Amino acid sequence: MKDTLIYTTAICPFCVRAKMLLDHKGVEYTEIDIHRQQGARQEMMQRANRHTVPQIFVGDTHVGGCDDLFALEHQGKLDALLAE
């Protein structure tokens, strides 16, 4: 399974929802809270070219946010991406 990274904040309901899906699928991921880790917001914005959380990466692939993650799941493409 590829390394999965999710940029979050503690007060974001979309972050909670995205992590719940990943947890349900048994995905181990690294979580970076952009409010607690200095420079994390800038890093996220450079990598994702977006300023909202969550921002999710599977390996080098930028999945996007919570809606994007759930769209991949509903299309049946998330498992394949995680397993590549």
pLDDT in tens, 59-80: 999 999 999 999 999 999 999 9
Residue pair 12/35 in contact (Cβ under 8 Å)? The answer is: no
Domains annotated for the chain, with CATH where assigned, are 4-83 (3.40.30.10)
Question: In which region does residue 38 sit, left (phi positive, over 0), alpha (psi from -120 to 50) or beta (all else)?
Answer: beta
pLDDT, position 1 = 72
- Identify which has the larger pLDDT, 84 or 12: 12
pLDDT, position 2 = 83
Residue pair 31/19 in contact (Cβ under 8 Å)? The answer is: yes
Q: Is the pLDDT of residue 15 over 80?
A: yes
